[in-house]
Chain A
Amino acid sequence: AQSVTQPDIHITVSEGASLELRCNYSYGATPYLFWYVQSPGQGLQLLLKYFSGDTLVQGIKGFEAEFKRSQSSFNLRKPSVHWSDAAEYFCAVGPTQGGSEKLVFGKGTKLTVNP
């Protein structure tokens, strides 16, 4: 069965510092991978997604993520964090052809940004 692990429940960084949020997945084939962000009181907003091709994908708000098949990872990065990036971040593995339609989410990583 598909599963997603986000090992860090809570991360605190200073504004301007770099950020890396970890995501590991378990899936039998090449997955579709997503990062969503949830700001307080808001829904889940898509940051970026990986389907195939270039393993480094660019998203909105200056985020990028790298798919590493050998490590079953899809870590999210940002070179310089802004205070407005404080939110909860969810990694998800997605539906595939002939398979389930559902997204399977990790538990999320809450990001706090110190001034």
Chain B
Amino acid sequence: EPEVTQTPSHQVTQMGQEVILRCVPISNHLYFYWYRQILGQKVEFLVSFYNNEISEKSEIFDDQFSVERPDGSNFTLKIRSTKLEDSAMYFCASSGVAGGLGETQYFGPGTRLLVL
């Protein structure tokens, strides 16, 4: 069964450093998402991406964050200058043709980011 994959599974970085989290969505999907879950808190939406542009973003997704689909398979989340409060589990998700119309979003296993 097709699945969303994410790399790395764990990332430790120093405050102020840039990190790039990578995701390979399901191959025929058109809509891509990033969510994060700070330890002990809810899973929160960060951004959605369709047709090579951001279609929606949350208040969390400030200028320190960016997303890119550099080729036909990868979808990346970049944090330019990490802060302590960026420590979280980051989930990538993708959905198919209908996108926002109640289409199921399939999630990857997550990247655990720790900022020291």
Contact = CB atoms under 8 A, between A and B. Distances in A.
B109 A101 contact: no
Interface residues of A, number: 27
B48 A102 contact: yes
Interface residues of B, number: 28
Contacts of B44: 105
B107 A105 contact: no
Interface string B73-116: 00000000000000000010100000111111111111000000
A42 B56 contact: no
A53 interface: no
Given A32-B102, A101-B31, A102-B33, A43 B109 contact: yes
A102 B57 CA distance: 9
B45 A103 contact: yes
B48 A101 contact: yes
23 contacts: A36-B107, A43-B4, A43-B91, A43-B109, A43-B110, A44-B107, A49-B102, A49-B104, A51-B102, A92-B43, A94-B102, A94-B105, A97-B101, A99-B100, A101-B48, A101-B55, A101-B56, A101-B99, A102-B48, A103-B43, A103-B105, A104-B45, A106-B42
